[in-house]
Amino acid sequence: MIKIAICDLEKKDRELTCGLVQTYMDRVGEAYTLQLFSSGQQFLDSGFVPDIIFLDSVLPDKSGMEVGIELRRLSRNVMIIYTTHAAGETRLVLNRIHVFGVLVKPIMDEKLFLMMKDALFHMGKEQYRDLGENIEVFFSEDGTILRLDAMDIIYFEYRNRRVRIVTQDQSFICKEKIGDIAERMKKYGFAMSHQSFVVNLYHVAKMERTVLTMKNGDQVDLAQKRASTVRKQLMIKLGKQTTQEIRNERL
C-alpha cells in the first residue's frame, strides 16, 4: 500500500492535486491511501508518515521548508514534492532538504503523472523504469498512458481538434497540442511540414512540391513556405542518402 499525502493551503489546489493523483493511481492499478491536509501543523500532528507528499511551499503556520525539515527527521525515505507558484521560492529549500521534485502551479496533469511514475520507480517498482532514452509518454484520448519509442513514430497529424500518432504498426489518438509536440520531438529529428503535420524525417521516402511520402506509403502535406527548411533538415538527417531517394521536386 502506497501512502500519499497532499498538504496545501488552498482548497482548490488540494482538490486539483488530489484528483490528478487519484486518476494516475487508478490507471496504473496500484493500491494506495491518500490523506489531505490544509496546514503543516495539521499534517505533523496527524502522525501520518507518507511515502510521497505533495507539499505546498507556502503554508499558514509552518513554512513548507520547516515541514519538510521535520518530516525528513521522521523518515529519510519519504519523497517530498514541493508545489509552488514560482520555482524560485524553493531554492532555499533545495539547498537544505533532499527534495524529490518541484511542480509549479497550476499543476499540469502530464507533469504530475511523470513525477508519480518516477516516484514509483524509485520505490522499487521496476515496471515504471524508462525502457530507453527514446521513450516518450503521451496520453490517449481515453486517458490511457502511451509509452512510445520516438523512432517508431512515423508522423503526427492534427485533425478535428485531435492529434493522431501514426507508428510503424498502429495508430493512436492523443489530446496534446500539435505545436507542443513539434517542439518536444525536435530532438529526435522530427519537423513540422505543415500546420497539421509533424513528421519523423528518418521515415521520409520522397519529397515532392506539396507532399511528403512516408516509408509506410502514407502521404502528408508539405506547406510551400516550409519546404526549403524541411529539405535542408532532410539532407542533414539523411546525409548518406542520394537526392533522388528523398526528393522529386523543383523548389
Residues 85 and 145 in one domain: no
pLDDT at 143: 66
> pLDDT digit of tens for each residue in the chain (251 aa)?
999 999 999 999 999 999 999 999 998 888 999 999 999 999 999 999 999 999 998 898 888 889 999 998 888 889 999 998 865 554 445 545 667 778 889 898 888 988 898 888 778 765 555 545 577 888 887 766 787 888 889 999 999 889 999 998 889 998 789 999 999 998 888 999 999 999 998 888 889 999 999 989 999 999 999 999 998 888 766 543 434 444 444 34
Residue 91's CATH number: 3.40.50.2300
**Cis status, amide bond into 106, omega within 30 of 0:** yes
Residues in contact with 160: Cβ distance below 8 Å, sequence separation at least 6, in sequence order? none
Residues 78 and 23 in one domain: yes
Residues 10 and 67 in one domain: yes
The radius of gyration of the chain from alpha carbons, rounded to an integer in Å, stands at 23
CB-based contact 233:185 (threshold 8 Å): no
Instruction: Tell me the three cell numbers of residue 43.
Output: 499534517
Is 251 inside any structural domain? no
In degrees and rounded to multiples of 5, residue 53 shows phi and psi of -130, 135
Residues 122 and 205 in one domain: no
Instruction: Tell me the three cell numbers of residue 82.
Output: 514541493
Residues 122 and 7 in one domain: yes
**Which residues share a beta bridge with 155?**
166, 199
Residue 160's CATH number: 2.40.50.1020
The domain in which residue 104 lies consists of 2-128
Would you call 194 helix, strand, or coil by DSSP?
strand
Is 48 inside any structural domain? yes
* Final residue of a structural domain among 73, 107, 128: 128
Instruction: Give the β-pairing of 52-56 and 2-7.
Output: parallel
Residues 92 and 152 in one domain: no
Residues 114 and 156 in one domain: no
